[in-house]
Amino acid sequence: MKTFTSVISIYIRNLNFFFYLFLIISKYIILLCILTILLRKTRLRIIMKLYSVAENGALRKIGKLAFADNAVYLVDDYKNMYLWFGQKASKKKKDLSQKKADALNKKKETTANIQIVHQGKEFGAFLAMMDILKKGLKVKAPIERRTELEIQYEDTKELIDIGLEPDLEGEITIAAHKLAQEKKSYDELCKALAKAQLTIIKSKGKITAAEINKKAKEIHKSSSTYDELCWLIAELNMLLKKQSFEQD
């Protein structure tokens, strides 16, 4: 009887040992899976670039994909580039997106494999990362900053190079880039923007130097970037030019 009891006791101890061993192994497997997912997401956030494609072919950097029916997205995953076509996306937008993808690919040190993905027919690696693309790739910064405007001159120039006439935004981009190349001082840009704003506000009224200086100080305090000032000046000058043309 004692022998039987001893055997049962040893069996139970061994069973408990293997049970705890199983729990420990399971715990580490789960942790490993979580780390793998986190590393995958981190890699996507660091390397991957997402763009939406406008009707005129212009690219805009975005943080996540909405997968809208009429949208076209360009996903640059370093070694692979994906063009996602919504079911209702126009042929023009699709064709221009392929030209943009080719242009970006030529600038890479190592050319990527370009894949076209149609809505509802997603496959492979793209299908696997769709949930991540929907949630977004932006890493939350400790201190939130407003998005700074950048003059997208290269995008506009590429559209012109392939024979497309620039739209209003494109014309402003070209004018803003030209102004930025003049290398004016920050104070000079503040005064130029102040003068343009006052011209619109006062219409045909006389603008004094004191008014320009006062307005320029207000603009200076807004902490706008150099590119933002160039863009705003170009935009207002375009508006003033249009108003003058309509009056004539």
Phi (first) and psi of residue 49, to 5 degrees: -125, 135
Please tell me whether the overall predicted TM-score, pTM, comes out greater than 0.85 for this model. Answer: no
The domain limits of the chain are: 1-46, 48-135, 153-247
2 burial (CB, 10 Å; 0-12 / 13-18 / 19+) is: exposed
Q: pLDDT at position 107, please?
A: 82
SS3 content of the chain, % helix, strand, coil (to 5): 60, 10, 30
The 10s digit of each residue's pLDDT in 3-30 is: 545 545 554 555 554 554 455 555 546 5
Q: pLDDT at position 72, please?
A: 95
The 10s digit of each residue's pLDDT in 145-204 is: 344 455 566 766 666 666 666 667 778 888 888 888 888 898 899 999 888 888 877 776
Q: How many CB atoms sit inside 10 A of residue 105's CB?
A: 15
**Domain boundaries 48-135, CATH class:** alpha beta
